[in-house]
Amino acid sequence: MKNEKKPYLLTLEAGEYYFCPCGKSNNKPFCDGSHRMTTLTPFTLQLSEKKQLTICGCGKSKNFPCCDGAHLE
């Protein structure tokens, strides 16, 4: 995921989530299928319970989809 310079702070219910791998989604940070014209695949995250997450918006995190502070570099 690219195009944002800061993370998304989200509270997500239990379930399966797909995060944008290409930066083209109109529903960032979630995948909307825009990556179809690329070789990228969305990152899948399964949550067994409600959780607060800090999701990377810059595409530089080494712990994607979670922010690792790389946007500060």
CB of 7 to ligand FES, least distance (A): 4
Residues binding ligand FES (CB under 6 A): 6-7, 56-58, 60-61, 67-71
CB of 52 to ligand FES, least distance (A): 15
Closer residue to ligand FES in complex, CB, 32/64: 64
Closer residue to ligand FES in complex, CB, 6/14: 6
Separation of alpha carbons 46 and 70, rounded Å: 23
